Amino acid sequence: MATFQSTSIFLSPKLSHFIPKFQNPISKSLIFPSISNPKPKPSLKLKNKMSIRTQTQPMGTDLDPSLMQQAIQLVQSSPPTWQSAIFSNLVIFLLGSPLLVSGLSLPGIGAAFLLGTLTWRAFGPSGFLLVATYFVIGTAATKVKMAQKEAQGVAEKRKGRRGPGSVIGSSAAGCFCAFLSIYGIGGEAFARLWELGFVASFCTKLSDTVSSEIGKAYGKTTYLVTTFKIVPRGTEGAVSVEGTLAGLLASMLLASIGCQMGEINGLEAIICVVASQIANLGESIIGAALQEKEGFQWLNNDVVNIINISMGSILAVLIQQIVLQSWHA
């Protein structure tokens, strides 16, 4: 008869016997986070400290003026500074880049930026606006009947886009007057003269540009001013009735703008127009008698332009002094 050995089974009522034992305590916390790592509740003291800290934190600080306000103040600096001149020209050149590219080459734009900065520093926004007006009218006149001028071989290079040589040749006298004004050469007594010379130089150059370009486009008869010999359009030193009248009107327009902006007075505007016409006549004589002649190859258009605007500027100053002396006599 077989016998069986009895075994006893002990049942434990403890739940811990059914929980697996982990050697790593972190594993236990992953399975039973609520049991092994209960989330602490903030105490009342901690809540009070947090609320006090939130209430005492400043809600805002004093703000500096906006960038736009600072920019406006910089542009409106009176008297103008180099900083305001550079900043104003940067803004204007960026906004007006399409127009600048149509009338100037890239090196020409660089030269024009230097001219604009110097002008703003010396004579402020009104002086800059005068130069900008000269540029717009001169560029428009250059573009008139461009195809016809190109076909006749009398158009400006690069479809009228002026280079740095042309910019310097057109503004040398004005830049010189600007430097004299900036550094106060002659004191207050001469400050008005430098401004007059500045305006007269650009009246002279605008009159020269418009008369030349309109004469090449619409001049029916062009002749040398020295011999009155009829010559083809575009000949150095040649003039026409149409071009001369257009140049006179352009000079009067720019002088009146300078007068309206307070750069010059009414009498000085008339002086600028008279000086510009005398200077342009002298420029035509130089072109007809000397330019492109043997021994004068150095006398190119840019050099003649410098002579032309210098004559206009100097004549305006001399005429103004003569008129003042005659009045005081």
Q: What is the chain's Cα-based Rg?
A: 40
* Domain-located, residue 294: yes
Q: For 164-183, what is each residue's pLDDT tens digit?
A: 988 998 999 999 999 999 99
Q: What is the mean pLDDT of residues 104-128?
A: 94
* Domain-located, residue 72: no
| Whether the predicted pLDDT of 5 surpasses 50 | no
d(CA 97, CA 292): 35
Q: How many domains does the chain have?
A: 1
Q: Are 166 and 115 in contact (CB under 8 A)?
A: no
Six-digit token string for 25: 């305590």
**Which residues does 6 contact at the CB level (< 8 Å), separation at least 6?**
none
What integer pLDDT is reported at residue 329 of this predicted model? 62
d(CA 103, CA 209): 13
**pLDDT range class, residue 56, cuts 50, 70, 90:** very low
Q: For 40-55, what is each residue's pLDDT tens digit?
A: 554 544 444 444 444 4
Q: What is the rounded end-to-end Cα distance, in angstroms, of the chain?
A: 165
* Domain-located, residue 170: yes
Q: What is the mean pLDDT of residues 296-312?
A: 91
* Domain-located, residue 119: yes
104 SS3 class: strand
* Domain-located, residue 3: no
| Whether the predicted pLDDT of 20 surpasses 60 | no
Structural domain that includes position 133 = 78-328
**Which residues does 237 contact at the CB level (< 8 Å), separation at least 6?**
224, 225, 226, 284, 285, 286, 287, 288, 289, 291
Q: For 129-157, what is each residue's pLDDT tens digit?
A: 999 999 999 999 999 999 898 888 888 87
Q: List 224's β-bridge partners, or say none.
A: 238
**pLDDT range class, residue 69, cuts 50, 70, 90:** confident
* Domain-located, residue 21: no
Angle between helix 188-218 and 241-260 (nearest 10)? 150
What integer pLDDT is reported at residue 21 of this predicted model? 53
Q: For 235-256, what is each residue's pLDDT tens digit?
A: 888 899 999 999 999 999 999 9
**pLDDT range class, residue 17, cuts 50, 70, 90:** very low
* Domain-located, residue 24: no
Between 67 and 192, the more confident residue is 192
**pLDDT range class, residue 32, cuts 50, 70, 90:** very low
Q: Are 198 and 181 in contact (CB under 8 A)?
A: yes
